[in-house]
Amino acid sequence: MHLDPQYAEPWLGLTGTWLRLASPGAIAPRSVMEDARAALQTGMRLNPDPADAQFLAALIAWRYDWDWPAADRRFRAAIELDPHTPTYRIFYAAFLSQMGRHEEALQQAEAGRRAEPLAGVRAVEANIYYNARDYDRTIRLCRAWIEKDAHFQPYHYWLGRALLSKGQTTEALRHSRRTSAPAPGRGFGMLAAAYVQAVRRSEAVKLLEDALQRSRDTYVSPLSVAQIYIALDQPETALDWIDRGLADRDFAITTLNTEPAYDPLRRHPRFTAILARLRF
């Protein structure tokens, strides 16, 4: 077998692998993202124009570099090169929503759904409506989709978040427990908030203790820990963990601008300074 070091696709595939490892919050982004960037740069040097390369560059600019104009430019370049791949539009829609551009996000999600009716597109739509504080629409859509596919976890995730924001604690807790496994990664912050709202504070504290214990041995998303402290009404400690997320370059930092879970902090000077630093 002849190995061709000038073949770009494996380098792009390696970039995608590093991104997938960092995305769930179970591995420190700093431990893999420079390798991801190097692999992408090699792939783009060998073949500078493919849509996949532009898409991967957009993901790095968005989730790791926090360079919003570059991410926007790369997403649009990928879509211009290949307007028929729904994945590009799905991620661009999520990005636009985090920038507070919800109407544009919905347009991209709709275009992605026309290209291919993926469950992931509908989950992104739920995320967009949730970020826009349209909780009723989020709840209605997720309930309808769950009737057709009860096993797709993102529907339960966004339904749980919207129900929690509406104060519908019992049902929110049921969906939160379904999607927030006690394992490294993200999601346990929402479950802890649901426990606090359900006046089951001791269970929220137990989740916090478990997360802190895990963080001594492995990577735990600082933003998920921060959400527990927000729920426990400890804003200064929550902000300390957000600062830790900034230092770690936690991918979830990109949610600070629009995620309702951070609303209790939005008038805090430290939080507004963080948003200004991120140039939201």
Contacts of 18 (CB under 8 A, 6+ apart): 32, 33, 35, 36, 39
Tens digit of each residue's pLDDT (9 = 90 or more) over 246-259: 999 999 999 999 99
Residue 214 to residues 93, 181, 192, 255, Cα–Cα distance (Å): 33, 14, 16, 23
Tens digit of each residue's pLDDT (9 = 90 or more) over 56-92: 999 999 999 999 999 999 999 999 999 999 999 999 9
| Structure tokens, 212 | 């802190």
| Structure tokens, 188 | 């346990």
| Structure tokens, 40 | 């992408």
Cα-Cα end-to-end distance for the chain: 50
pLDDT above 90: residue 140: yes
Residue ranges in 116-234 assigned as alpha helix (H): 119-131, 135-148, 153-166, 169-179, 188-197, 201-215, 222-231
| Structure tokens, 99 | 């920038």
Mean pLDDT confidence for 45-50: 72
Residue type at position 212 = L
pLDDT above 60: residue 269: yes
**DSSP H/E element including 71:** helix 68-81
pLDDT above 70: residue 177: yes
Q: How confident is the model at residue 176 (pLDDT cuts 50, 70, 90)?
A: confident
pLDDT above 60: residue 2: no
pLDDT above 90: residue 35: no
pLDDT above 70: residue 8: no
Number of neighbouring beta carbons within 10 Å of residue 68: 18
Q: Give dist(CA 261, CA 190) in Å, integer.
A: 8
* Backbone torsion region of residue 2, taken as left when φ is above 0, otherwise alpha when ψ lies between -120 and 50, otherwise beta: beta
Whether 223 contacts 242, CB under 8 Å: yes
Q: How confident is the model at residue 3 (pLDDT cuts 50, 70, 90)?
A: very low
pLDDT above 90: residue 113: no
pLDDT above 80: residue 6: no
Mean pLDDT confidence for 217-238: 94
pLDDT of residue 37: 82
Q: Give dist(CA 205, CA 196) in Å, integer.
A: 9
pLDDT above 50: residue 163: yes
Mean pLDDT confidence for 156-182: 87
Number of neighbouring beta carbons within 10 Å of residue 214: 18
pTM recorded for the entire structure? 0.89
pLDDT above 80: residue 27: no
pLDDT of residue 186: 59
pLDDT of residue 247: 94
pLDDT above 90: residue 190: no
Nearest Cα to Cα of residue 187 among 137, 233, 223: 223
Number of helices followed by number of strands (H, E) in the chain: 15, 0
pLDDT of residue 172: 92
Mean pLDDT confidence for 116-132: 87
Q: How confident is the model at residue 272 (pLDDT cuts 50, 70, 90)?
A: very high
pLDDT above 60: residue 36: yes
Contacts of 173 (CB under 8 A, 6+ apart): 160, 191, 194, 195, 197, 198
> Among 17-21, 74-78, 84-88, 150-154, where is mean pLDDT lowest?
17-21
Question: What interhelical angle do 119-131 and 86-98 show, nearest 10?
Answer: 10
Mean pLDDT confidence for 85-107: 95
**280 alpha-carbon distance from chain centroid:** 16
